[in-house]
Structures are given as C-alpha cells and as structure tokens.
Amino acid sequence: MHLDLDYFFAQVEENDHPEYTGKPVVVCVYSGRDETSGAVSTSNYIAREYGVKAGVPIKEAIRKLAGKDAVFLPVRHERYGEISQGVMQILDSYGEKFEYASIDEGFLEITRAAGGDYGKAERVALEIKKEVFGKFRLTCSVGIGPSKLIAKIASDFKKPDGLTVVKPQEVQQFLDSLPVGKIPGVGPKSSEFFASAGIETISDLRNADPGRIVEVFGKKTGGWLLNAAKGIDESEVGNSGGQKQISRIATLKRNTRNLGEIMGAMEGLILDVESEVKERELAFSVVGANVIDEHMKTLSKSRTLPHPAQDGNEVRKIARELFYEIINETKTEFRRAGVKVEKLESKKGQKNLSEFS
DNA sequence: CTCCTGGGTGC
DNA sequence: CCTGATCCCAGGAG
C-alpha cells in the first residue's frame, strides 16, 4: 500500500486557517532576494485551476492569481513534520512493515495483515483514511497493489481523496493505457526522449526495442524501465539504511563571484549542517560545494577527507577551497551557493536515526 | 576500484 | 522568472 497526503502543505494551512477555505492557497519558498522572489512549494486545487502549482515562480503565481483573493504563505516545515509523523504512525500501525518515503508519502506492507486478500486490504485502507481524517482532518490518496511500483502508481491514479486497488491479474491492463511519465523516475527529460521515439504509453514502452532503451538509459535504468513497463518490481518495503547526505543551499542577495561574499553567505548554512551532524551524532568524510550561476547552470565540487569529521571548521575550510577553485575555473557570476556533507556514518553507539522505526 | 563531476528526478 | 533537499546513475580519470 502507498499513501500520499493530498496537496499536503496547503491542506495543513487550510486546516490551521479555516478562513482560507474557498480561496486559492499557495505555500511558498521565499528566497529573500526580493520581496517576492522564490517558488511555489505546494498549492491547493483552487490555485491549480489557474496553473499555480509546485515549482512555479512566486511572481508568476501572483500574476496568475491577481484579483482572485489568493493567500500566499511561507512554508512551515516544523509544523508539517509534526503532522506527517502522526499520520505515518497511523499507517505504520496497520501493517507488518512500514517505509517512510517522504514527508507526505509512505509505504505499508500489508500482505500478511490482509491475508493476501485485496478486498481486506481495501477495507484496511478505508479504515486508515478514516483515522487520518478523524485525527488530522486531512485527506489522502491510497494505492494498493502487488508491488511498491504498482501501489505508488495506483495512489496517483485517483486524487484527491482517492483509493485505487490493482490486483495482480489487472496489473498489465492498468499500466498499459497510462502515459510513460507515470512511471516513477520518468521526468521531463526521459519523456522528451520517449516522445521523440513515439513511445507515449507504458504499453508502447513494453513493446519497444529493449536494446534501444538500454542503449539510451543505460543498463540499470533501462532495465528498471523495461521491467516497470511489465509490472515487474521486486523491491521490498523498508528503509534503505539511513540518510546519505546533508546539504544546505541559499540564494545570494545579489549575483557575485567574490569568495568572501560567498563564504559570508555560507556561514549560517555551515553552522546549520554542523549542528545537525553533531545532534545526530554523525560524521562525514566528503565535503561538497556547489553553485548555480546566473544562467541557472549548476556546478559542483567535492573532496574526500582523509578521516571522517564532525566539525564545522572542516566544512568551512574545504568549502572555501572548493569555491576558490570554482571561481577560478569559471567566468560567470553566481546566483546561489551551497554546501554539503556526504558519506555519513554513525559516530556514537549504534543508534543511527534511520528515520522512523 | 575509488574519486569526482554532471545530469536527472520528484517532492 | 527561476526554492531547497535528497537520491541515484553514468562515465571519465587515476
């Protein structure tokens, strides 16, 4: 089973501010460059009717919703995190294995709990939806299938407040009519290739030349896509061994390629990363720096340390070197800059906070 | 094989 | 006009 909270951030805001009901609600990430720079994180369905959805620049959203009495709000991650935890606890309690997939998504293994009966699984899903709505006044969309792949695609099939069950015998028929873009991992770039190759539906992909697909996407991804098109997915529900990186990025007050100015902007981010590392008793052995230039092109550099470290000074020193090198190898000015630590390992004890239990 | 960079994704 | 965080993969260099 896959559960997806509907327009999550915006739905939470609607609940916290009942006076917003009936209005377009737009939850935004403000970059701080000017009053309205930034992008839309999530919006409710009313806002979506005007083309205001995740990723749209705030300035564009303002234009599209002019005169529509829309509400623009900054993201409140702590609040959403709290509620997410409560919802995921409910989901977890109904099956034998749970996987936290993201702040608004989770997988549940219910094969045993449902005795292999899809009708039973469906009733469990209705129960879960009821409890989530009862406790948090949130609707969600649920998919049930013989694999994570099918459950995930199914949860997206009917939204909001949907419930879609795909039994093993129905898998192929269910997939065949769907656009290839519905396969997780197929985004704009892959879709572009598929369109040029005349592959529109998952059925088209299933009947495509496997050699050509592997040639274009590589052995791993290509193989996964071909299997997905046939409804084959053997991945198990469960968390894949903890977080692998911690990163922070910021939009600079103005475009620059001045090292001091960039490092000044990085200070808060570095302290933030350091406190997270220490709080969770982790250590890192790779430090990375990245910039996004005035043309939105990304550049990154990273360095492996001789020994794992915990200290912010280490991040600061390496990041400074990396930014120095980046500046020397480029000519453009930078709009955004960030730092990252990778190759995380648990330092104390053995209780690495691998998300939920 | 490891290290590093860039690209793609999806939320 | 363009957020912020994470993961995965390919491919080149050594």
* Closest residue (CA to C1') to nucleotide C1 in the complex: A57
pLDDT at residue A356 in the model: 33
Is nucleic acid strand B under 7 Å from A297's C-beta? yes
* Cα–Cα distance for residue pair A55/A62, rounded to 1 Å: 13
Nucleotides of C under 7 A from a protein CB: 1-11
pLDDT digits (tens, 9 = 90+) for A169-225: 999 999 999 999 999 988 888 888 898 899 999 999 999 999 889 888 888 888 889
Is nucleic acid strand B under 7 Å from A302's C-beta? yes
Q: Catalytic one among A13, A14, A105, A109?
A: A105
**A193 exposure class (CB count in 10 Å sphere: 0-12, 13-18, 19+):** middle
The radius of gyration of chain A's CA atoms, rounded to the nearest angstrom, is 23
- For residue A219 the two structure tokens come to 């052995």
Between the CA of residue A236 and those of A98, A102, A148, A218, A233, what are the distances in Å? 10, 16, 7, 23, 9
Q: Which of A40, A51, A31 is nearest to A13 (CA)?
A: A40
pTM of the model: 0.93
- Is it true that the peptide bond before A160 is cis, omega within 30 degrees of 0? yes
Between the CA of residue A244 and those of A10, A147, A241, A315, what are the distances in Å? 29, 25, 9, 16
Contacts of A275 (CB under 8 A, 6+ apart): none
Of residues A221 and A3, the one with the higher pLDDT is A3
Report residue A352's pLDDT band, with 50, 70 and 90 as the boundaries: very low
Instruction: Confirm whether A105 is a catalytic residue.
Output: yes
